[in-house]
Chains A and B, each alone.
Chain A
């Protein structure tokens, strides 16, 4: 199992099995928090941290884990790590901590974390597991950032607003106002905007995949195992 090259793990996480637009796992934060680039990407990075640590923590004990109680043990490990991340954010990034609110502790219930622990870390050595957590998490963070950017531009006409929550008041000047005197397309910020935006992103990803396959050879027997419509449980 350990022979799986890191390049493939990275490709899987970032594109082929992207959690946000292919596996559609962990939809709750994707839809709820992606109101701006900063919000989306910060929660994405917090999830990356949890995923890397939980994969790395579960992998060494995978051979000693009684099969019957593995899920509760996984959840315990994940929730400990999330609590650590939550306290760290509370201490050092208080503004962001307030904005993201309940969605930080909810990383525990984000099924993508448990899914990677169960599907990858419990069967692979430590280093590949950590890389898998990193790749999968970054894939999710990228979707969160892009969706957040789309919704922020359409909804407020700005980009990178809220950066001061991370870097202090000096960062207030870094906000890019793309459309001055903008009326605000409110629906982009509201929940329907999240669903429509995510739908468009999935469509884009499917379009790119199909075009790539067509370019690659155009043979009739294209396997659609990875592309097409991904159906899975939503959190």
Chain B
């Protein structure tokens, strides 16, 4: 806590959410640089769907539409979801996920401030459970795929599902670095040979590692504006690092480096933008540490031993369930009272 005098500025929800959106921009810019502009279409589609769904739900719930619609929270959900799913996804995938996230995961639980689960992660979980095939067609980084298609062709694929003649979806997409590692290890290829494949870059996947760096850069802005505290990112990344390091030390032939796990998948996005959601994470500092450490550990376990391509979403949702419990057990003792006594 800062010392007195306690002069604070009250910051509006929409200003905070807008700053979080701004902090996502470096990551998105690098995304476009490495994968082409298809992600911008997903972002736009998700944004429009989120705002429309939000308006309809507010109307159904007899809430004022304008103040809630302009609080940017629906937009943030939309962006986080769009960034979690393959950019070259058919339009209905983005629309269904966003509608589910806003209507069921957010408004049916009481709207902004009352939802126990991160709506974007619910949207992702619904999509990966319902459409596993579509969720694995990730666009190859530019320069790596067997073929590349221009923005016009990407647009056509997203809206009509048609690729230029002679091209298959497999030619322009590939599995994620995390997925590739898992399947190649299954085929008993040695770790060194796998990480020498062109899909891998310096730390993790070629291209995707830089997107993760972009999110890391964006987090500086969040810290500078005191929108997030250090607790969740440090506990999450620390636990992920430690768990990965232990496995890597024991058997480096089968378990990737901690750095690989940091810069793969949604780890950076999760650490700074998803786990730090003030609504679905604990309120106490100690609680935040427990919450994020649990998510870090579960992310590793689900990634390495689970059947899904990434573990951040399910780890977040599992820890979301525990938030009320964590909050109840980490209340600081009131000054003048003895600990452990009511």
Give the residue name and chain of the B residue nearest to A154 (CB): B130
- A235 CA to B134 CA, complexed, in Å: 38
Residues facing A in B257-284 (CB within 8 A) are none
Query: How many A residues are at the interface, by size bracket?
Result: 10 to 19
Q: Which of B104, B108, B129 contacts A186 (CB 8 A)?
A: B129
Min CB gap B321→A, angstroms: 14
Contact between chains at B129 and A196 (CB < 8 Å):
no
Contact between chains at B104 and A183 (CB < 8 Å):
no
Contact between chains at A196 and B104 (CB < 8 Å):
yes
Residues facing B in A174-191 (CB within 8 A) are 183-188, 190
Residues facing B in A185-208 (CB within 8 A) are 185-188, 190, 192, 196, 199
Question: When A185-B96, A196-B104 are in contact, do A190 and B131 touch as well, CB less than 8 Å?
Answer: no
- A186 CA to B104 CA, complexed, in Å: 16
Contact between chains at A185 and B104 (CB < 8 Å):
no
Q: A183-B134, A185-B130, A190-B129 are in contact. List 10 more A-B contacts (CB 8 A).
A: A183-B131, A184-B130, A185-B96, A186-B129, A186-B130, A186-B131, A187-B126, A187-B130, A196-B104, A199-B108
Min CB gap B114→A, angstroms: 16
- A167 CA to B227 CA, complexed, in Å: 63
Min CB gap A157→B, angstroms: 13
Give the residue name and chain of the B residue nearest to A155 (CB): B130
Can you report 16 residue pairs joining A to B where beta carbons are below 8 Å apart? Answer: A183-B131, A183-B134, A184-B130, A185-B96, A185-B130, A186-B129, A186-B130, A186-B131, A187-B126, A187-B129, A187-B130, A188-B130, A190-B129, A192-B129, A196-B104, A199-B108
B residues contacting the other copy or chain, number (CB 8 A)? 8
Using an 8 Å CB-CB cutoff, how does the interface string of B117-135 with A read, 1 for contact, 0 for none? 0000000001001110010
- The A interface, classified by DSSP as helix, strand, loop or mixed, is helix
Q: Which residues of A contact B134 (CB under 8 A)?
A: 183
Q: Which residues of B contact A199 (CB under 8 A)?
A: 108
- A183 CA to B134 CA, complexed, in Å: 10
Q: Which of B96, B126, B130, B134 has the most CB of A within 10 A?
A: B130
Give the 9 A-B CB pairs with smallest separation, nearest first: A186-B130, A187-B130, A185-B130, A187-B129, A187-B126, A186-B129, A183-B131, A196-B104, A190-B129
Residues facing A in B52-108 (CB within 8 A) are 96, 104, 108
Q: Which residues of B contact A186 (CB under 8 A)?
A: 129-131
- The B interface, classified by DSSP as helix, strand, loop or mixed, is helix
Min CB gap B313→A, angstroms: 14
Min CB gap A180→B, angstroms: 14
Min CB gap B88→A, angstroms: 16
- A170 CA to B209 CA, complexed, in Å: 57
- A187 CA to B97 CA, complexed, in Å: 12
Q: Which residues of A contact B129 (CB under 8 A)?
A: 186-187, 190, 192
- A184 CA to B132 CA, complexed, in Å: 11
- A159 CA to B126 CA, complexed, in Å: 23
Using an 8 Å CB-CB cutoff, how does the interface string of A147-186 with B read, 1 for contact, 0 for none? 0000000000000000000000000000000000001111
Q: Which residues of B contact A188 (CB under 8 A)?
A: 130
Min CB gap A202→B, angstroms: 12
Give the residue name and chain of the B residue nearest to A193 (CB): B130
Give the residue name and chain of the A residue nearest to B92 (CB): A183
- A192 CA to B96 CA, complexed, in Å: 16
Q: Which residues of A contact B108 (CB under 8 A)?
A: 199
Min CB gap B253→A, angstroms: 36
Min CB gap B203→A, angstroms: 34
Give the residue name and chain of the B residue nearest to A185 (CB): B130
Give the residue name and chain of the A residue nearest to B129 (CB): A187
- A192 CA to B134 CA, complexed, in Å: 20
Min CB gap B284→A, angstroms: 30
- A186 CA to B127 CA, complexed, in Å: 9
- A183 CA to B89 CA, complexed, in Å: 13
Min CB gap A234→B, angstroms: 19
- A187 CA to B129 CA, complexed, in Å: 6
- A139 CA to B161 CA, complexed, in Å: 44
- A199 CA to B130 CA, complexed, in Å: 20
- A16 CA to B72 CA, complexed, in Å: 42
- A192 CA to B126 CA, complexed, in Å: 9
Q: Which residues of B contact A184 (CB under 8 A)?
A: 130
Give the residue name and chain of the A residue nearest to B96 (CB): A185
- A130 CA to B95 CA, complexed, in Å: 49
Min CB gap B135→A, angstroms: 11
Q: Which residues of B contact A190 (CB under 8 A)?
A: 129
- A192 CA to B129 CA, complexed, in Å: 10
Min CB gap A100→B, angstroms: 25
- A91 CA to B231 CA, complexed, in Å: 64
- A163 CA to B134 CA, complexed, in Å: 31
- A221 CA to B297 CA, complexed, in Å: 53
- A190 CA to B130 CA, complexed, in Å: 9
- A185 CA to B92 CA, complexed, in Å: 11
- A184 CA to B126 CA, complexed, in Å: 12
Q: Which residues of B contact A196 (CB under 8 A)?
A: 104
- A120 CA to B200 CA, complexed, in Å: 70
- A42 CA to B59 CA, complexed, in Å: 39
- A168 CA to B229 CA, complexed, in Å: 65
Give the residue name and chain of the B residue nearest to A184 (CB): B130
